[in-house]
Amino acid sequence: MGSLTRKKTLAVMALSAMIGLLLLPIVVSVPALASGGGAPAGGPPPDVVKKEGGEGDKDKKVEKARDVYYKTEGIVSGLPAPKTGDNAKDYPRYNFESRVLLWFANQQHLYYGSFVLAVPIFCMVIEFMGVMTKDKAMAKKYDQLAYDFIKISLTAYSLTAILGGILIFTFLTLYPAFFGYLSSIFRPVMHIYALMFVAESGTLYIYYYGWDKMKEGFLKWIHLSMSVILNVIGTVLMFLANSWIGFMMSPAGVDEQGRFLGNIWHVIHTALWNPLNVHRILGNMAFGGGVVAAYAAYRFLSSKTDEERAHYDWMGYIAMSLGVAFLIPLPFAGYWLMREVYAYRQQMGITLMGGLLAWLFIIQATMIGILFLSTNYYLWQALGRMRGAERFQRWIKYFVFLLVCGFLVFITPHTMVMTPAELKAMGGQQHPVLGNYGVMSAKNGGINVIITTTVLTFIWYQRGNRVPSVSWSKFGNIFMGVFFFFAYVNIIWLAIYGYFIPANVRVGLSVPQVATTLSCLFFMTALNLSMLKGAKQIGPIEWGKISVRSQYALIMLATAFTWMMGLMGYIRSSVRLFWHVNEIMRDNSPWAYTHTVGFAANMISFNVLFFWISIMFVFWLGTLAAKKAPVEAKAPVPGQAPQPAVGH
Amino acid sequence: MKVLIGSVLGGLVVVLIALLAFGVLPATSLKLVEGYMPMQMLFELGASVAIFAVMSYLLGQGGVQLSRFWQGILFWAYVLLYLKFRVYPPIPFSVRAMYGTVTLIAVFMWVSSNEEDWKKFKQPIMNVLDANTGFHKALRTVYLIALPILLWGFSYSSFLPNLDEPVELRTVHPAPPASTKVHGKTFVLQTSQNPYRVNPEGKYDQEYTNARIVEQAMGRLMKPDANPWDEKAEGYLKYVREGGEIFFQNCHFCHGDNLNGRGLHAFAFNPIPANFTDPGTIAQLQETFIFWRVSKGGIGLPNEGFPWASVMPPWEQHLTTDEIWKVILFEYWHTGYYPRTWD
């Protein structure tokens, strides 16, 4: 057997092993699922056996109850949710707020979990780009970049597992009654989760260590397939974890007392599970892109040579582009999630967006605005590394105006903070001018204007150093201009029209607004790319010759992502108010109150700070490994390579 | 000539804002047109940007160039003055602070969008720091003395006892309970319906009733075929009339005969009663939410309704359940809004 054939056989075997690992949890769980996940919490307790199960079998008595969400009848298969009291048995404690400890452990685990789930997706995309690129030098660059990413992810992966362990111990030791109940409901899911984690680890190590051995040809495709499997496992892992928080917010599969009714799918597939899944996967990607971009920015700023600067400039650009690609649909996914929350429980929706937590949503809107402003700013700065892009500079101020108008509307609070004297001077709780910006109709208009302007900035960036030379370029430009003009008109008009129609129709108006924005994104980007085929180059891209402000914008982007993630996690969790499991299991600990906005903001900032300090340590470890890498494994000098395929 | 036109254009805007700022021209004399106010404000800001851009271009063509530094600073100052003196009623400080910060960021993004502009913007600052001329040296010395004094002033004033009323983070729409009990009957807020929102067949019909509310435009006109005060009016329109009667017997003293929260007694309260014609009040809410608030009043506000700044009586003590539903029907009819529903 030749060496190549042996390699191929080994690669196929590795791939099969991964598929096996992927399927293992499913195979293992089939008997459990078939029987409805077994009988959590030790099966039906003797004291609830009341009703006759069948006419022919009088000895086998079962009690039936109604699902709180699906309204279907099911056989009671578990104990009721425990009624806890403020005592050391239900809530053992240190001389410190247990909730804050749990908050910290949970948030750190989530940060790292998101990072290690997002980075392999990037690797997959970048590796695929490398395989598809015809330019050998570029292909090698992409491959090296993907490898660098996974290397960072590997160290973070261990930390994620450690933090996961800390989280479990924190739950077990500080909230034993609640965790006992949750694990009794999710017993089969938790086992599948654990096995999935094993599969994820195995796949990741094979993927990482097999990189050099599967560099070319058929083997490279096998390697790429492994990344797909790795990401499938990662995504399933996340979906399973989401089912727990989905259950806590919008329980299903249990009766009013919290007794499991035998259908594990109902418990997983709660009202908010799907929107949570979509929102989290997009959020993770945007977050991962931000973190890698910040890493690149940090390395750029500390670079000693032009070559290094060129490489990290390019790396930051790629990471930012990938992150922003997922940031753009993120508000729409968030909108869907909030809509489902409202549909599930009106009071939950009002608590979030009009009541107790409304101010946190204003902070969130501010953070979203900062993300888009930073992105636009970075792209304007990036025009500076292209010769010939100077012609666009004088238009930037109008882009700033559009963005800021959208931003101001987007962040205007419905409930304004004011002194009683100001309230009196205003003549009522709602300001007659600005009050109109405080409702959803205007805010939808604001965010869509921001996103459409970001798309426009990106199209200009693509054109930075090039002039379309296709015969229909004049027509194309006019078409594009008219398209964008009417897109703005449509978005703003619908935002105004929303005030004149019923609320349920108004909610539906977001669909044409989003469709307009996405049309700009997909059709105009595609049109632009086809116009730029064979375009006349009016100057080179000088990688590394970008202002330092651009790199601070990347760091700002990543920090804003991290902060916003902490904020939204807090909002999502605290909307349950004094419930562990909404309307099923009450939180009777001394900490079942909502923190003040100030305390929450400080806590989020602390979490963000801790994450960045620890991830800097991870990055530093990555640089230690890089120093030891053999010379030939390093990428060619990026500054000397032709422009990258993405975005050009 | 270009310089003259540019100066006149920009000068007009500057003079206008100065007149507003010094109170020579009351803000109300430049009408914010009802129904168009939010867009008018954005339009005015957009027009200012356009005028300043044209002014800058014309002055530049005529050889007079205002430095980027002063362009940025003055534009920011203009927006702050506009928000403070142009928009009425006055915008609370917290919102102006937010807007001012965002505008400052916008100005920074503009002046630093490329290296050349950024250098131009920094130049006056660098000149003072480098102090290569006698003037700049003197200016630097002035800053050296003035800045600590300014900081000291801020610190001093922050330590002074403050007798102002504290700001309130009031929750206008606290989350309602899942259900509420009125006159011994439990109403689930998610699923309950107004029993008087019915079509001629007597069935709950939101579309039918929506089509018969007043025109929601300036003047609020009644639909010709939907006059509740027509004695022959039956069904929904009759209930609206009955609701109106209840409203004018009980509610209009505070909420006003135009339902805009400016009734006879309104200004005895702070905050004044809710303005139902504002798109941020009943137009945002389900009828069941209003039912709960009317029934339970200010005293029934939940904890998150802190500081419970509402004197509305719990109307369940004065009205029957049917009367409460009818008055809600009237409020939506009169304002031209539709209650929120979930499809």
pLDDT digits (tens, 9 = 90+) for B168-187: 777 777 888 888 999 999 99
Q: How many Cβ atoms from other residues are within 10 Å of residue A13's Cβ?
A: 10
**A379 min Cα distance to partner chain B (Å):** 10
**B290 min Cα distance to partner chain A (Å):** 13
Q: Are residues B86 and B192 in the same domain?
A: no
Nearest to A504 among B112, B164, B343 (CB): B343
Nearest to A268 by CA among A257, A253, A278, A256: A253
Q: Are residues B86 and B183 in the same domain?
A: no
Residue B163 φ/ψ region, left for φ over 0, alpha for ψ in the -120 to 50 degree band, beta for the rest: alpha
pLDDT over 90 (residue B329): yes
Mean pLDDT in chain A? 86
Q: What is the pLDDT of residues A364-397, one digit of tens each?
A: 999 999 999 999 999 999 999 999 898 888 889 9
What pLDDT is recorded for position A648? 35
Buried b (16+ CB within 10 A) or exposed e, A207-227: bbebbeebeeeebbebbbbbb
Best of B32, B49, B114, B218 to substitute, by most chain A Cβ atoms within 10 angstroms, is B114
What pLDDT is recorded for position A57? 53
What pLDDT is recorded for position A22? 66
What pLDDT is recorded for position A245? 95
Q: What value does the CA radius of gyration of chain A take, rounded to a whole number of Å?
A: 27
**B246 min Cα distance to partner chain A (Å):** 24
Asked if B38 lies within 8 A of A384 by C-beta distance, the reply is no
Average pLDDT over residues A83-106: 94
**B98 min Cα distance to partner chain A (Å):** 8
Asked if B109 lies within 8 A of A431 by C-beta distance, the reply is no
Where a domain ends, among B111, B141, B162?
B111
Residue B197 identity: R
Nearest to B46 among A358, A401, A431 (CB): A401
pLDDT over 60 (residue B246): yes
What pLDDT is recorded for position A249? 96
What pLDDT is recorded for position A634? 44
Residues of chain A in contact with residue B281, where contact means CB-CB under 8 angstroms, are: 430
**A243 min Cα distance to partner chain B (Å):** 24
pLDDT over 80 (residue A645): no
**A277 min Cα distance to partner chain B (Å):** 23
Is B132 within a domain? no
Residue A597 identity: V
CB proximity list for B152: less than 8 A, separation 6 or greater: none
Cβ–Cβ under 8 Å, residues A342 and A352 = no
What pLDDT is recorded for position A584? 95
What pLDDT is recorded for position A43? 41
Q: How many beta-carbon pairs under 8 angstroms link A with B?
A: 214
Nearest to B90 among A393, A407, A425 (CB): A425
Is B124 within a domain? no
Is B94 within a domain? yes
Residues of chain A in contact with residue B214, where contact means CB-CB under 8 angstroms, are: none
Nearest to B270 among A342, A376, A423 (CB): A423
Rounded Cα gap, residues B78 and B15, in angstroms: 11
Asked if B168 lies within 8 A of A420 by C-beta distance, the reply is yes
pLDDT band, very low/low/confident/very high, at A337 (cuts 50, 70, 90):
very high
Average pLDDT over residues A196-218: 88
Is B227 within a domain? yes
Where a domain ends, among B111, B130, B155?
B111
Is B118 within a domain? no
Domain count, chain B: 2
Rounded Cα gap, residues A105 and A160, in angstroms: 11
What pLDDT is recorded for position A604? 97
- CA end-to-end distance (rounded Å), chain A: 45
Nearest to A380 among B98, B113, B164 (CB): B113
Please tell me the least confidently modeled range out of A631-635, B157-161, B243-247. Answer: A631-635
CATH number of domain containing B290: 1.10.760.10
Asked if A346 lies within 8 A of B92 by C-beta distance, the reply is no
**B138 min Cα distance to partner chain A (Å):** 31
pLDDT band, very low/low/confident/very high, at A58 (cuts 50, 70, 90):
low
Q: Which residue has the higher pLDDT, A135 or A34?
A: A135
Q: What is the pLDDT of residues A279-295, one digit of tens each?
A: 999 999 999 999 999 99
Q: Are residues B230 and B107 in the same domain?
A: no
Nearest to A346 among B274, B283, B286 (CB): B286
Best of B41, B52, B71, B113 to substitute, by most chain A Cβ atoms within 10 angstroms, is B113
Chain-centre distance of CA A588, in angstroms?
32
Average pLDDT over residues A150-176: 91
pLDDT band, very low/low/confident/very high, at B87 (cuts 50, 70, 90):
very high
User: What is the residue whose two structure tokens read 């941020």?
Assistant: B280
Q: Are residues B195 and B290 in the same domain?
A: yes
Enclosing H/E stretch for A284: helix A273-301
What pLDDT is recorded for position B143? 95
Is B66 within a domain? yes
Q: Are residues B210 and B99 in the same domain?
A: no
Q: What is the chain B residue with the closest CA to A395?
A: B110
Q: What is the chain B residue with the closest CA to A575?
A: B175
Rounded Cα gap, residues B262 and A334, in angstroms: 38
Q: Are residues B90 and B191 in the same domain?
A: no
Is B88 within a domain? yes
Residues of chain B in contact with residue A355, where contact means CB-CB under 8 angstroms, are: 171, 173-175, 304
**A89 min Cα distance to partner chain B (Å):** 29
Buried b (16+ CB within 10 A) or exposed e, A422-433: bbbebbbbbbbb
What pLDDT is recorded for position B127? 94
Best of B36, B86, B101, B102 to substitute, by most chain A Cβ atoms within 10 angstroms, is B102
Q: Are residues B199 and B327 in the same domain?
A: yes
Q: Are residues B292 and B192 in the same domain?
A: yes
pLDDT band, very low/low/confident/very high, at A45 (cuts 50, 70, 90):
very low
Best of A250, A366, A376, A431 to substitute, by most chain B Cβ atoms within 10 angstroms, is A431
pLDDT band, very low/low/confident/very high, at A30 (cuts 50, 70, 90):
low
Cβ–Cβ under 8 Å, residues A574 and A567 = no
Average pLDDT over residues A229-238: 94
What pLDDT is recorded for position B218? 55
Q: What is the pLDDT of residues B276-295, one digit of tens each?
A: 988 888 988 889 999 999 99
Nearest to A429 among B89, B112, B172 (CB): B172
Rounded Cα gap, residues A460 and A538, in angstroms: 14
Q: Are residues B88 and B11 in the same domain?
A: yes
Asked if B113 lies within 8 A of A425 by C-beta distance, the reply is no
Rounded Cα gap, residues A436 and A413, in angstroms: 10
Q: What is the pLDDT of residues A400-457, one digit of tens each?
A: 999 999 999 999 988 788 888 888 888 777 788 898 898 888 999 999 999 999 999 9
pLDDT band, very low/low/confident/very high, at B140 (cuts 50, 70, 90):
very high
**B169 min Cα distance to partner chain A (Å):** 5
Q: What is the chain B residue with the closest CA to A341?
A: B342
Rounded Cα gap, residues B280 and B258, in angstroms: 16
Q: Are residues B98 and B208 in the same domain?
A: no
The C-alpha angle A65, A67, A73, rounded to 5 degrees, equals 50
Is B216 within a domain? yes
Q: What is the chain B residue with the closest CA to A369?
A: B102
Q: Which domain holds residue B21?
A: 2-111
pLDDT band, very low/low/confident/very high, at A29 (cuts 50, 70, 90):
low
For strands A536-537 and A466-467, give the pairing.
antiparallel
Where a domain ends, among B66, B86, B111?
B111
Mean pLDDT in chain B? 90
pLDDT band, very low/low/confident/very high, at B28 (cuts 50, 70, 90):
confident
Q: Are residues B99 and B186 in the same domain?
A: no
Residues of chain B in contact with residue A416, where contact means CB-CB under 8 angstroms, are: 92, 94-95
Cross-strand pairs, A536: A467
Q: Are residues B100 and B187 in the same domain?
A: no
Residues of chain B in contact with residue A403, where contact means CB-CB under 8 angstroms, are: 106
Residue B249 identity: Q
Asked if B87 lies within 8 A of A425 by C-beta distance, the reply is no
